[in-house]
Amino acid sequence: MPMHDVPEVPEVQWGQVFEKHGGPLTYKSIPVPKPGPDDVLVHIKYTGVCHTDLHAWKGDWPLDTKLPLVGGHEGAGVVVAVGEMVKDVHIGDHVGVKWLNSSCGVCDFCMSAQEPLCIAPQLSGYTVDGTFQQYCVANAGHVARLPKSVPLNAAAPILCGGLTVYKALKESNARPGETVVITGAGGGLGTLAVQYAKAMGFRTIGIDAGEKCDAVKQLGAEEFVDFQTEDVIESVKRHTGGFGAHAVILLAVSEKPFQQATEYCRSHGTVVCVGLPANARISADVFSTVVRMITIKGSYVGSRMDTKEAVDFFVRGLISAPFKVGKLSELGKVYEMMEKGQITGRYVLDTSVSPEDQEKMEE
């Protein structure tokens, strides 16, 4: 590439930082990180806000985060620098930064292309600084390749939400024409799950709060169950001729659905746990689980190959889940709405700064 095409990378940038769990989120000027030999530096244009980011800020899980931390792991942007060992990603390429920032490459799981199970992973916006900043470092082997034809704002939610639900639907072993229940269908992952399920040929029943019914049905769900006003188990059975659903994808950030799902799952069906509510337990009646041959399993993001496939569905125009665009400075407000379950679909944040903020930074 001729020298004049190499983008100028600033020394400082804007990012959202917190020092302690549940402590203030500060939108401030921070240094631009430097990529290592096998990393790329990505100018993040848009970043989705996943409920995982809220769990990380609150310190909900039995896994330590880096502190202070820049959260975020659904970043879409443009490569502005590459480490000296990077050969297949170039300055100017459009890429996505995912939850799995890097993996060791040599453990049993990495060797069998199950890199989310790596024994020494780095996680974006958790163990390393993530996408709630303008410039983010990620391992070149792990960034998602995005064609320049797709808009980066709509692509951002695919990089965690889309990938995760696509993988969970594959793990459900459901076949085209079978019925899949999506619990938490109106949320970020849920709205994407309804769309991926439809594209994969499944029939879906969405479960969420009543105000999200119209959106979930418009995305392709055949039936909707309001968890706040209906008997969820009875309703799913009614919609499935008394048999229950072939598979259940649990995306809700609440414990109760993890204790109900086997009861509305069809015999020989599969319950896939994806949502990660704090301190929650799965429970099921042993007798019924055995004699009805129910499978209960977890599903955790997806591999690089799953990423490629999930991005492909999006590039082919099969996935268009709702998203709202805000500014990176508004992250705190988005967390408040998310906590109350008020967001239908995803919030995507634009990292560009207003001229006023820019002036302040230069002072």
Shortest Å, Cβ 77 to Zn ion: 17
Nearer to Zn ion, 54 or 248 (CB): 54
Concatenating the DSSP letter of every residue in 293-317 gives T-EEEE--S--HHHHHHHHHHHHTT
Nearer to ligand NAD, 50 or 221 (CB): 50
Nearer to ligand NAD, 336 or 359 (CB): 336
205 neighbors 241 (Cβ within 8 angstroms) = no
State the residues that interact with ligand NAD by CB under 6 A. Answer: 50-52, 55, 160, 164, 183-184, 186-190, 207-209, 227, 251-254, 256-257, 274-276, 299-301, 338, 341, 343
Of 160, 296, 319, 348, the one binding Zn ion by CB under 5 A? 160
Q: How many CA atoms lie within 13 A of 276 on its CB side?
A: 18
272 binds, among ligand NAD, Zn ion, none (CB under 5 to 8 A by kind): none
> Cα separations (Å) of 230 from 227, 238, 262, 298, 300?
6, 12, 17, 26, 29
Token look-up 């041959």 returns 293
Beta strands in the chain (DSSP E): 12-18, 25-31, 39-49, 75-82, 94-97, 100-102, 122-123, 135-139, 144-146, 179-183, 203-208, 223-226, 245-250, 265-273, 295-298, 323-327, 346-350
- The answer to whether residue 348 forms part of the interface with Zn ion (CB under 5 A) is no
* Rounded distance between C-alpha atoms, residue 246 and residue 200, angstroms: 14
55 binds, among ligand NAD, Zn ion, none (CB under 5 to 8 A by kind): ligand NAD
Nearer to ligand NAD, 178 or 255 (CB): 255
70 binds, among Zn ion, ligand NAD, none (CB under 5 to 8 A by kind): none
Shortest Å, Cβ 316 to ligand NAD: 23
DSSP 3-state of 151: coil
Shortest Å, Cβ 50 to Zn ion: 3
- The answer to whether residue 131 forms part of the interface with Zn ion (CB under 5 A) is no
- The answer to whether residue 138 forms part of the interface with Zn ion (CB under 5 A) is no
Residue type, 211: E
Shortest Å, Cβ 285 to ligand NAD: 19
- Contacts of residue 248, defined as CB under 8 A and 6 or more positions apart, other chains included, come to 172, 180, 181, 183, 261, 264, 265, 269, 270, 271, 272
157 binds, among ligand NAD, Zn ion, none (CB under 5 to 8 A by kind): none
Nearer to ligand NAD, 44 or 301 (CB): 301
* Rounded distance between C-alpha atoms, residue 240 and residue 238, angstroms: 5
209 binds, among Zn ion, ligand NAD, none (CB under 5 to 8 A by kind): ligand NAD
- The answer to whether residue 50 forms part of the interface with Zn ion (CB under 5 A) is yes
Helix axes 161-171, 304-315, angle to 10 degrees: 110
Under DSSP, the state recorded for 280 is -
51 binds, among Zn ion, ligand NAD, none (CB under 5 to 8 A by kind): ligand NAD
252 binds, among ligand NAD, Zn ion, none (CB under 5 to 8 A by kind): ligand NAD
Nearer to ligand NAD, 93 or 306 (CB): 306
Site residues (vs Zn ion, CB under 5 A): 50, 52, 160
